[in-house]
Structure 1
Amino acid sequence: MIIDFANLKLAYKDHKEEFEAAMLEVGASAGYIMGPKVKALEEKLKKFTGAKYAISCSSGTDALLLAMRALNIKPGDEIITTPFTFIATAETIAFLGATPVFVDIDESSYNIDANKIEEKITDKTKAIMPVSLYGQVADMDAINAIAKKYNLPVIEDAAQSFGATYNSKKSCNLSTIGCTSFFPAKPLGCFGDGGAVFTNDLGLANKMSSLRLHGQTKRYYHQYIGMGGRLDSIQAAILNVKLKYYNKDILERQRVAKTYTNLLGDDIIKPTISSNKTSVWAQYSIRLKNREEVQEKLTEKGIPTAIHYPLPLHLQQCFDYLGYKKGDFPFSERVANEIISLPMNPYLTTKEIEYIVENFKDSL
């Protein structure tokens, strides 16, 4: 049996006729940039999340940049975030000349430990950027309470959690600004790069809308130094189709995760989802001491795996200048050394999951 990790091919075949019709419609209209499909998508994203404003953009990375630019993040500013995440989280902070200030993770959720944030706040701190990793939202109530105490904005990096809930509210609508990604392998992915920012603040919404169009307020009049951060109409058309079926996909991902959890038994460190949260299961990640050995044996059986992420950001060469060293964030380092992700997509059958788990147990 050959297992597909994300099964993007089947995701395409599942709605092939609708995808192709939507793309042909864009082609026939020649509305390739900021066309009606983009506006339609933004309306649907607002309705889905409950946020007042949704602005599509060119990628999840650019979503983070738009958020920080809208908040006037400048060189020398500090933003508190997690070292256990994809590089874009801290990379965008550094790209703007600001300083990422890392806080270790909670070892059970793998999200930033809210109890350790306040001690890192200085007079240079200008925002807090939690990451809702693997599909589960960070502890936003505690984070927002700290932010309110110090009058700081909160940017939720929700690149992996679009559609997840926290106290029955949707990810991306839990903070000052929410940012997500529509990279193809995300739970809701397009056929290239794409992203979106969300807010309930009209001023921030208007500024981010302008910033993604080179700071333009009307054609050829520019209030800000902006960027070319637009989502193209074909990607919007794809997302309009996929969003119709997304709630069903989330339920199927939750089914897959529940099946894994039941079959793996109690001897493995499995994901933990808090009772006030739901996850969209961007990944199903477990922890092992002999990760490389297991990975090799599963590959031989046609079972792909992935490591999200093998080296925490404070130990990455590009962040040497920050002066962190091994041992500074022990939970992030421990998880990075042990984490491994099993195949996760809404098309996995019970038979396939049983095959994966059976071979996984044999490889231990």
Structure 2
Amino acid sequence: MIPFLDLRRQYAGIADDLEASVLATLRSGQYVLGEPVECFEENFATYCGTRHAVAVSTGTSALQLALLTAGVGPGDEVITVPTTFVATVAAILYCGATPVLVDVDPETLTMDPAQCARAVTPRTKAILPVHFHGRLADMAALDAIAYANRLTLIEDSAQAHGARRDGQRAGSFGAMGCFSFYPGKNLGAAGEGGAVTTNDDGLASRLRALRDWGQLERGVHALRGYNYRMDAIQGAVLGVKLRHLDGWTAARRRIAGHYDAALAPEIRRPATSGPEDHVYHVYAIESEDRDALRRDLTDAGIGTNVHYMRPVHLQPAYADLANGPGSFPVAEAYAARTLSLPIFPELTGPEVEQVAAAVNALSERTHEPRERAIA
């Protein structure tokens, strides 16, 4: 059996350092925030190329606090995409604001800047692009739109730890960048975790207060805040894993390159515009007969996943955000076709070859066109 993801392999490679760091934290008697979290914040900020990283409890809380810190609230609109996990949209709703969805670019599957520009209204407060599957969105174009309209640009970088374009990393392009450290992420905790990166001292101060019950100083609750603090053990775990992130990213890129070379030409692969702008949190192909292909791969002992089977506007809880099927044809066509193949740093060369061979053999029956259908 080739698993879709095997975190036990990752653990085996760093077990001694990880256990030593966690044990030291347990012995310290300080289990919320504290030195391990502060150390991780400093190192992660340096890694991302920002002045600050504010560690929080989850990626969702990172999104919510970033939006609140940007002043987003009732009556405001935030432009984002339907091709994402529902947390992106949920965080906007948690602030009392209105998510305004725009379709994704058919090649990059990230926010279409032209559609974003058309969606701006006098109520728009922020733009929230998603670095989908680990590929950077068109941040130059989106930053220009934000600047021209005096909007806050916030990155959903939950899948893009370490992605870089022209020497600049995810989380440093916008006013704030939001990360998730869910265990399966490229940089994952031993549980839940998140962070917001920023170069703005004032935003960082507000973020730190909001995550800790609105305290600008201990015992003085200046803001109506939240209990979104990171546990010390998660900070300790992430501090160890951060040292390995670049190596893991290089391994993911090698595996993606192996897939690119081994898969049949007619199989649609992830798009990238540069050697460092994609960190392959997910390696997803497309198939006209996705569900059958997935069943066949399962029968062949190969684990797969679907990210995400329905775009947000077709999820029952968020159906009021659009006009139903057909509202975002690129997102909908992709959701119906996408299939995620195994990709994690410890996946072996023979395993990659086996997956690619099985996909090629099982895909022959569909004779798929190379161009993506969008309607």
The question of a shared fold, defined as TM-score above 0.5 by the shorter chain, is answered with yes
Cα displacement string for residues 255-302 of structure 1 (whole angstroms, at most 9, x for unaligned residues): 000000000031111011013752111000010001111100110111
Distance (Å, rounded) in 1 between the aligned partners of 2:322 and 2:137:
26
- 5+ unaligned residues in a row in structure 1: which ranges? none
Aligned to 1:186: 185
Paired-residue identity, %? 38
Distance (Å, rounded) in 2 between the aligned partners of 1:145 and 1:278:
19
Q: Which runs of 4+ in 1 moved over 4 A?
A: none
* Paired residues of 1:315 and 1:324 also in contact (CA < 8 A): no
Cα displacement string for residues 118-161 of structure 1 (whole angstroms, at most 9, x for unaligned residues): 11111110000000010111000000000000000101000000
Question: 3-state SS of the aligned residue for 2:216?
Answer: strand
Cα displacement string for residues 205-246 of structure 1 (whole angstroms, at most 9, x for unaligned residues): 100010000101111111111111111110111111111111
* Paired residues of 1:50 and 1:170 also in contact (CA < 8 A): yes
- 5+ unaligned residues in a row in structure 2: which ranges? 364-375
Distance (Å, rounded) in 1 between the aligned partners of 2:188 and 2:14:
13
Distance (Å, rounded) in 2 between the aligned partners of 1:249 and 1:239:
14
Distance (Å, rounded) in 2 between the aligned partners of 1:101 and 1:39:
35
Asked whether 1:120 is paired with 2:158, we answer no
Aligned to 1:347: 346
Aligned to 1:142: 141
Aligned to 1:19: 18
Tell me the TM-score normalized by structure 1. 0.98
| Structure 1 range deviating more: 335-344 or 323-332 | 323-332
Tell me the TM-score normalized by structure 2. 0.95
Asked whether 1:8 is paired with 2:13, we answer no
Aligned to 2:223: 224
Aligned to 1:215: 214
User: In the TM superposition, what are the counterparts of 1:1-364 in structure 2 within 5 Å?
Assistant: 2-275=1-274, 277-364=276-363
Root mean square deviation, CA, Å: 1.0
Number of equivalent positions: 363
What's the CA shift for 1:71?
Answer: 1.2
* Paired residues of 2:313 and 2:320 also in contact (CA < 8 A): no
Q: 1:351 to 1:323 in 2, by over 3 A?
A: closer
What's the CA shift for 1:162?
Answer: 1.0
Cα displacement string for residues 43-97 of structure 1 (whole angstroms, at most 9, x for unaligned residues): 1011101101111110100000110111121112100000110000001111222
Distance (Å, rounded) in 2 between the aligned partners of 1:108 and 1:321:
27
Distance (Å, rounded) in 2 between the aligned partners of 1:222 and 1:273:
46
Question: 3-state SS of the aligned residue for 1:278?
Answer: coil
